[in-house]
Amino acid sequence: MKLHREGFKIIFITLLVLTLINFPLEMFFMGEWYTDTVLVLSVIFFVLIVQFFRDPHRETPVGDDLIIAPADGKVVVIEEVDEPEYLKTKCRQISIFMSPVNVHVNRYPTSGKVLYEKYHPGKYLVAWHPKSSTENERTTVVVEHPKGQVLFRQIAGALAKRIVNYAKVGHLAKAGAEYGFIKFGSRIDIYLPLECEINVELNQKTVGGETIIARWS
């Protein structure tokens, strides 16, 4: 299993701390029921941390008209909204909620040139809160495709305290390629032109880099 580089430090620190806890217990209290209990709980906790930072290979569908899911998770919003930060027009918003058990690698939903990226410090409301899109810590990226502009936003949740964004203005984005990571759960909002054909439904599960969420008309 491939692990994401954002997890290397956390995994190492977790392993070190758990070793420092369990080694003295095994040395001085071997055979006690609580020693075995702590060891089992430590192993479970370590496995959960490791699986959170997994980075599986994805086969991205090929097609200039395809818009791909930027994250694993569940579709929680599909609606027409005004996008005030950059596009400043009515768009179709698709929001994907990522639980702590999902893969948290974020991928470009479309190919094109990165026109805009901005980090916004903020609160840590639960990711499904209506105001999380505008009040939580978040990072906005805009990519210009030959058929239009797509804005997508990483939003921190109650557990996610760290957003990582690799996109930079001027970069050439490739649909399905990694552009960021959100540590410990959250959501991504995607804003599409109204003429795009939506290809997902509410509560549908998505696979980042593989699920086709919309098509350019």
pLDDT digits (tens, 9 = 90+) for 34-79: 788 888 999 999 998 888 888 899 999 999 999 999 999 999 999 9
**80 in the same domain as 139:** yes
Is residue 100 assigned to a domain? Answer: yes
Average pLDDT over residues 10-22: 92
**pLDDT tier, 161 (very low <50, low <70, confident <90, very high otherwise):** low
Residue from 42, 95, 132, 186 carrying the catalytic annotation: 186
92 in a structural domain: yes
Range with the poorest average pLDDT among 64-68, 157-161, 189-193 = 157-161
Edge-first strand order for the sheet with 178-183 is 105-107, 178-183, 162-165
Q: Which residue has the tokens 């804005």?
A: 151
Please give the single-letter amino acid code of residue 66: L
188: its two tokens: 């991504």
Domain span including residue 173? 66-215
Find where tokens 């003429």 sit: 195
- Report how far residue 203's alpha carbon sits from residue 217's, in angstroms, rounded to the nearest whole number: 24
pTM of the model: 0.85
Read off the pLDDT of residues 72-121 as tens digits, 9 standing for 90 and up.
Answer: 999 999 999 999 999 999 999 999 998 888 898 999 999 999 999 999 98
Domain count, the chain: 2
Confidence class of residue 6 from pLDDT cuts 50, 70 and 90?
A: confident
Distance CA 82, CA 91 (A): 6
For the chain, helix (H) and strand (E) counts, in that order, are: 3, 14
B/e letters for 126-139, b = 16+ CB within 10 Å, e = fewer, are ebeeeebbeebbbb
186 is catalytic: yes
58 domain-assigned: no
Residue 18 has what pLDDT?
Answer: 92
